[in-house]
Structure 1
């Protein structure tokens, strides 16, 4: 039986490192070809890394919460000879050749079973080619007995991050979950404990590493502020007719159409009239590059921070198609299953900050795009309608744009067309 080393593969999209969030296998586990073995967080997304070898895990490298550069060892796998007995779930050559993060061969994950490696200590040192014998399945040892070796078991990576941000040593806690599993309530209780009773050391000031999604957002926003001379214009619009049209659509058929999908359809129609705003600036060539397709990004707040999923070819989609894609990408963002491809390639961003209960904002442009449409909350206000004072549903719209690609006349024309479509949805029919 030989031993193969699996290294952190090339993550693509220019990414050079990743943070280990959760190990999916332990030393002594039997793994199949392309079985996910570790969950990592990159600057783009949270992904599972499949191992291209099938065999027995003999060593792991890196603790949960640590960062590894591309090419660093992740684990070693003991594999048997091609003509010998195969490990459950592995292929004949014990390798798929697949090393791309988040992209397996499509083979279903196999059931894991524990084995006992001979003369293989549970450390990060690689194991030699000593023989490994299969042992009967045993009940796992109590959690408290293994606290001093390997990561402390917690219910989710968010709990581990909460403890790290508050300088709390998880090994000093007794979990209240099954078999000593540490729950979020256990960590929160330890943080609230009086200073005389708790083991938390509260550094002052607190330092939170800028990495993963938060680090990528910080880098992108800083670059946008440095490179893009942005300006913002805004307008209040009467959204009463738009909301009535949405109610009629949803009464006629399912699934229900979201306000975001309607605004996206209006936005793509306006971009067809004002293509200057669907562009980017190449300063090295000193050229404005007008982009042929609209790939519409939309800001989504998640527990891991702000992400901007992208709806591909939004300009050619119907309102129903936009609605379906928004729902799919929003669910993927909440579950942390967005791929790097879902988060790149946008040409224009729609930012619905009204979900936070605010009326207006001057957002930072999503570099290297040229503009962003902001939408505030839709709120009931007194409004002059048909020459009389009436109670209407009003929304504030804003456009932040790169002043290098157009002047205020173009930006104002785009925003006015969006507002006209919000106030009179029938205006859209002229361009369909």
Structure 2
């Protein structure tokens, strides 16, 4: 006789207490193996797949896509020790892996069985007389990779679960769209284009009725991908209009977590900012020479990170945090370097572990890996926490300066503006040089202005004369 075991939403770590179901990866009746991912959830820090520690037949699922569940709530039930009626083979025994941590498993995830999903109508307000949204099963493409062909009654192929959710929240039937991606894949630009067209049609029919507008910059359904040097601005999805002229957007998920952290930083940290203009011409020439020598290309962000870690070695007070309860400054002997990145899901700060021990090539590779993971929503909670200092390159937005809010509970953040040609006195003569504004926002509890100024001046010296950095290597 089969034993039915209940798998609850596990402790996600890092103080996370709830998660939203984004996409179910299994149906009732499916056979699952030990540590096979069964659901994709979005926490306040990342979108991750949850592996089930039991093997057997799924007998029940709890919660529809879009539902928030607290940690410890039932997720699925699995009948173990039972042969499925379809004759696919024996299910795994009652002994589970014991693994309930998000994103980790004791073995490689097995290939998922192909199946035809049943339609599950989802109600929603129509944006342009559309039918109720149907086919809310797993999309045929994840992270930009095309999946298996869809059946007529199966789900519509979209590039990501977030695109499916955008359509669902706005009552848009994906089956009425023609995707502009490979093999008809529906992209976010396709959905936004359709929503804008629906909004215009609704406005023409009812000129005084408020119509939710989808945000975005695309003017036609053309495939696009965010570039590392120009992140796309975050576009929160609007809810149903609450009153005339009002659109309310819940502060939840990534956006809610960012709001809470920034508010706490402002409440608790007495911050101050200092800044300086620097001539980055020689740094840019050094990078050009390094990349012309062959081998992997070195990013500008990696060179700035090397300068940061060298400066923190000289001014370790800024690589610290304040323990308010103990009234102590806690200084770290390692640099876990966070870097701010804007994604479609909001602002995230991935962390490069042990940045002080990495060379420019290793830093370039790690920045690229974490940036791509942020873009596709696959960063793990561990990759988003534990930073000791943050590097914020807001120059990619075309601005010169900023006074950023410190990433609590860190003690400082270095900001880098855009590098542009400007008149500059060089060797006693006026010349056009590549100039950048550097700013340092710091917790005044950990140090005084002299320390902060010394740190920033050293960073500027390294930017102006990269050879200065050689003295610290």
Q: TM-score, normalised by structure 1?
A: 0.85
SS of 2:471's equivalent in the other structure is helix
1:380 aligns with 2:421: yes
- Please identify the structure whose Cα radius of gyration is greater: 1
The equivalent of 1:426 in structure 2 is 467
Query: How far apart, in 2, do the equivalents of 1:373 and 1:398 lie?
Result: 6
Q: For the Cα contact (< 8 Å) 1:175–1:181, is it kept in 2?
A: no
Query: How far apart, in 2, do the equivalents of 1:399 and 1:39 lie?
Result: 38
Q: Displacement of 1:235 after TM fit? A: 0.4
The equivalent of 2:60 in structure 1 is 59
- List per-residue Cα deviations over 1:339-398 (Å, max 9, x = no partner): 111111111100000111111000000011111000001101111101111111010000
Query: How far apart, in 1, do the equivalents of 2:86 and 2:159 lie?
Result: 36
Which ranges of structure 1 fall in alignment gaps of 5 or more residues? 117-121, 124-138
The equivalent of 2:274 in structure 1 is 233
Which ranges of structure 2 fall in alignment gaps of 5 or more residues? 122-148, 213-239
Q: Displacement of 1:23 after TM fit? A: 1.0
What is the alpha-carbon root mean square deviation over aligned residues? 3.2
Matches within 5 A, 1:246-257: 246-257=287-298
Alignment counterpart, residue 256 of structure 2, candidates 195, 204, 215: 215
1:189 aligns with 2:230: no
Larger RCO (alpha carbons 8 Å, 6+ apart): 1
SS of 1:257's equivalent in the other structure is coil
After superposition, the Cα gap between the structure-2 partners of 1:251 and 1:283, relative to the gap in structure 1 and judged at 3 Å, is same
Alignment counterpart, residue 265 of structure 2, candidates 224, 241, 266: 224
1:156 aligns with 2:160: yes
Q: For the Cα contact (< 8 Å) 1:359–1:377, is it kept in 2?
A: yes
Q: Displacement of 1:71 after TM fit? A: 1.1
Q: For the Cα contact (< 8 Å) 1:234–1:415, is it kept in 2?
A: yes
After superposition, the Cα gap between the structure-2 partners of 1:207 and 1:153, relative to the gap in structure 1 and judged at 3 Å, is farther
Q: Displacement of 1:105 after TM fit? A: 1.5
Q: Displacement of 1:154 after TM fit? A: 5.5
SS of 1:431's equivalent in the other structure is coil
SS of 2:96's equivalent in the other structure is coil
Q: For the Cα contact (< 8 Å) 1:237–1:423, is it kept in 2?
A: yes
The more displaced of 200-209 and 284-293 is 200-209
Q: For the Cα contact (< 8 Å) 1:296–1:346, is it kept in 2?
A: yes
The equivalent of 2:229 in structure 1 is none
Q: For the Cα contact (< 8 Å) 1:175–1:183, is it kept in 2?
A: no
Q: Displacement of 1:92 after TM fit? A: 4.1
SS of 1:107's equivalent in the other structure is coil
1:268 aligns with 2:291: no
SS of 1:68's equivalent in the other structure is strand
The equivalent of 2:17 in structure 1 is 16
- List per-residue Cα deviations over 1:305-342 (Å, max 9, x = no partner): 11111111112222222222212211221222211111
Query: How far apart, in 2, do the equivalents of 1:209 and 1:163 lie?
Result: 17
Q: For the Cα contact (< 8 Å) 1:31–1:112, is it kept in 2?
A: no
Query: How far apart, in 1, do the equivalents of 2:174 and 2:288 lie?
Result: 55
After superposition, the Cα gap between the structure-2 partners of 1:112 and 1:85, relative to the gap in structure 1 and judged at 3 Å, is closer
Query: How far apart, in 2, do the equivalents of 1:289 and 1:377 lie?
Result: 33
Matches within 5 A, 1:39-78: 39-78=40-79
Q: For the Cα contact (< 8 Å) 1:358–1:376, is it kept in 2?
A: yes
* Aligned residue pair count: 406
The equivalent of 1:135 in structure 2 is none
Matches within 5 A, 1:18-417: 18-81=19-82, 88=89, 90-93=91-94, 95-112=96-113, 114=115, 142-143=152-153, 155-163=159-167, 168-170=170-172, 174-176=176-178, 184=188, 185-186=190-191, 188-193=193-198, 194-195=201-202, 202-204=241-243, 205-417=246-458
